[in-house]
Structure 1
Amino acid sequence: MSIHREIDIQFQGTPRTVCTHWIDGYVVDPGPESSVATLMAELGDEQPKAVLLTHIHLDHAGAAGALVERWPDLEVWVHRNGAPHVIDPSRLVASATRLYGDRMEELWGRIIPVAESNVRVLEDEGAAAGLRWAFTPGHASHHVSYLHEASGIAFAGDVAGVRIGDGPILPPTPPPDIDLEAWERSIALLRSWSPSAVAIAHFGTYTDVDRHLDVLGEELRRLADLARVSDDAAFQEAVHATYAGGAEEAAYQKAMPLDTLFGGLARYWKKRDTAGQT
């Protein structure tokens, strides 16, 4: 029987913001290094079989190097588009530092390179050790999702959206990789797996898969259309209204900061308009 655990790493002291999933010895998205002490305490002394990264954004993958530092022969799985930045995170760190400035270490902690020998580079699809994976871009150009075949759970990072408790299902849309058509294809791919549940980093595991993916697709299009006709301030206000006053408002604010969302969709539309598409 498969064993699946949700580990709340208490990012920035806020519950239900970042969820690391543990499935039969595999760690999916260890979160940022700033929360690695919480994760280590939950993992104990037993080395995981591997770390499975859905993508390399720091709130998902930042602790990978710290886990390899703890267990030097630990394998880290990552899509080929993201692998170079796990091995040499200097460009990733420089980009994040421009965005977060003096808060970089407070938010994300140390960004430790992972030796190339520890990195398992994933192609667009494959299977091994009871897991399937597939390239699922839209949120990020290096995003993969995993299907744990014994349990039927799909571990889908951010491409399956943000959903915290009884709050809304929303797409996180930071720059620079947002691509609506690719995201919709990725939603369709997840659906084609007929998973028993969808597991996401923000936050948890949900068994109403068809409804979840339906609502996510509708919200993705709604917010994309809104971004095309509004400014950043109006967009933030509209997104905030979906969860304002709810029990999980603080978690939503940390999981998908409002000031990061408009830019990804605005960049998408600018690229589309430049290319002469509608």
Structure 2
Amino acid sequence: MRAIDVLHQGRERVICCWEVDGVLIDPGPGVTEETLLAALDGAEPRALLLTHIHFDHAGVSGALVRRWPELPVYVHERGAPHMADPSRLMASAGRLYGGDVGLRQLWGEMVPVPEANLRVLSGGERDIEGAFRVEYTPGHASHHVSYLHEPSGWAFVGDVGGAKIPPHDFTVAPTPPPDIDVTAWERSIALVRAWKPAGLGLTHFGPVEDADAQLDRCLEALHTQVELEGGHDEAGFVAAMEARVSEAMGPDAATMIQATPLDQLHMGLARWRKKFGA
């Protein structure tokens, strides 16, 4: 088991791809394909396991299938259509990132995954690639799943376990638009906790051996951000979060902010509040 730092925008500890016995979990964005390939050193992966389809987690998937045409890609049923045809996803994200040029500069190309390569999940599956158990864990995204590697007891939880940049314990709950659901996220944390995992594999960033402590930190961060969003406009929220991150992380604050853009945290929670009348 190893965490491959894909060096997003040349910065360490922003995005990692997990490799477990030849299986890649959240291979990262298209823009970091060459870094990932260099780390694989010619080895062909057995499968891709996607926790969700956001660019920073899944964007390179289609390019990897183009390179290895037999590569299976596991993804939740809500996300699978967007992997087969990412045009709507790219159009929506383009509005968030300043158009197609900005989107491609930040995340790179997103190539469609042929339907024949997709392995569609609903949650509750066992023995995926001979080793992984799956739970449906929405909250950060409506199509989010988490994977338990049963031989080791490690859980690979995408963004449900929060973002924590080593060596710091300070945690941010990634809450970008469009489908944050705070109540569902709380339930998903409880599901992961019920696995009693030996550790958590975070995409942002790396291994966490005390799973319960990290899940507690994620819940605390989520509730703090909900409170901040309720009391501030976007500018005030960003200023308050920037102060919190800087105080906790010092020079490493920029790494966290790259992994979890602060304006997007506010946008996602504001959309959640409007949708659910919270």
Give the aligned partner of residue 251 of structure 1: 255
Give the aligned partner of residue 208 of structure 1: 210
Give the aligned partner of residue 78 of structure 1: 75
Q: Which residues in structure 2 correspond to 1:25-174 (within 5 Å)?
A: 25-100=22-97, 101=99, 102-128=101-127, 129-167=130-168, 168-174=170-176
Shift of 1:229: 1.9
Q: Which residues in structure 2 correspond to 1:192-231 (within 5 Å)?
A: 192-231=194-233
- Percent of counterpart pairs with the same letter? 51
Shift of 1:246: 1.7
- For structure 2, the residue ranges without an aligned partner over 5 or more in a row are none
Shift of 1:247: 3.5
TM-score (norm 1): 0.95
- Which string of whole-angstrom CA distances, capped at 9 and with x for unpartnered residues, describes residues 99-151 of structure 1? 22131111111110000000000112211211101100000000000000011
Per the alignment, do residues 93 and 161 of structure 1 end up closer, same or farther by CA in structure 2, a change over 3 Å counting?
Answer: same
- For structure 1, the residue ranges without an aligned partner over 5 or more in a row are none
Does the 8 Å CA contact 1:227/1:235 hold for their aligned counterparts? yes
Shift of 1:234: 1.4
Does the 8 Å CA contact 1:165/1:248 hold for their aligned counterparts? no
Mapped partners of 1:263, 1:105: distance in 2? 21
- Which string of whole-angstrom CA distances, capped at 9 and with x for unpartnered residues, describes residues 6-50 of structure 1? 100000111100010101111000110100000001112221110
Does the 8 Å CA contact 2:172/2:260 hold for their aligned counterparts? no
Larger mean Cα displacement after TM superposition, 184-193 or 223-232: 223-232
Which residue identity is paired with 1:111? M
Out of 173, 177, 180, the residue aligned to residue 178 of structure 1 is: 180
> The residue matched to 1:134 in structure 2 has which SS?
strand
Larger mean Cα displacement after TM superposition, 174-183 or 229-238: 229-238
Q: Size of the alignment, in residue pairs? A: 271
> The residue matched to 1:27 in structure 2 has which SS?
strand
Which residue identity is paired with 1:145? S
TM-score (norm 2): 0.95
Aligned: 1:16 with 2:13 = yes
Mapped partners of 1:227, 1:173: distance in 2? 11
- Which string of whole-angstrom CA distances, capped at 9 and with x for unpartnered residues, describes residues 51-93 of structure 1? 0000000010000011101111000000000000000101001
Does the 8 Å CA contact 1:173/1:262 hold for their aligned counterparts? yes
